[in-house]
Amino acid sequence: MKRFVVMSLIALGVAIPGAAVLAPYAMAGDAPPKTVFKDKTQRAKLLGKHMLSLQWLQFEKAMYGTATIEDKGGVLYLKGEQINKGKEKGYLKVDGRITEVGKNSFKFNGTIKTSVSHINNGEECVREGDMNFLAKGARKYWRLQEMKSPCSEVTDYVDVYFH
């Protein structure tokens, strides 16, 4: 019955939070495809806890959030948050799966939510779907490559740091 209701709502064009990310697997009843490793040496670098940041939340104090990457049945999942309770209130929340891993990059399918008091009137901004993270040169972090905010005229640096 639940599958019928979800499919009916989607057919009617009703928005369901997270549906773009989960719909292909939830409706088919299948588990998501395993994470593809184009560079298997990166697995150890990815698994575990990492610092997480959005630059707008770093100005007041160098306070980082935490992200965790876990392997669940061959699928890597990334989940984390950074919350600033100081003068510039705001947050960064990341939740989804890593679909592919390259030498200095990974592909992410999920949701990234941001809220910064002085951007977009402090309203939450949501990115959803496929995104790319890349570590360039000597950098010690992977940076979201879709940097342009979909909600305002700013550039967001969402970074997941190496161990």
Tens of pLDDT, residue by residue over 101-153, are 999 999 999 999 999 999 999 999 999 999 999 999 999 999 999 999 999 99
What amino acid is encoded at 45 in this protein?
K
Q: What gap in Å lies between CA 75 and CA 99, rounded to an integer? A: 8
Q: Is the domain covering 36-161 a CATH 3.30.700 domain?
A: no
User: Could you tell me the CA-to-CA distances from 71 to 30, 34, 40, 46, 79 in Å, in that order?
Assistant: 17, 10, 14, 10, 12
Mark residue 131 as left, alpha or beta (left: phi above 0; alpha: psi -120 to 50; beta: remaining): beta
Coil, helix or strand for 105? strand
pLDDT band at 87 (very low <50, low <70, confident <90, very high): confident
Domain spans, the chain: 1-30, 36-161
Does the pTM of the predicted model rise above 0.85? no
Mean pLDDT, rounded, for 65-91: 93
Four-residue CA torsion sign, 140, 146, 149, 151:
negative
Higher-pLDDT residue of 62 and 69 is 69
CB 160 within 8 A of CB 78: yes
**pLDDT above 80 (res 23):** no
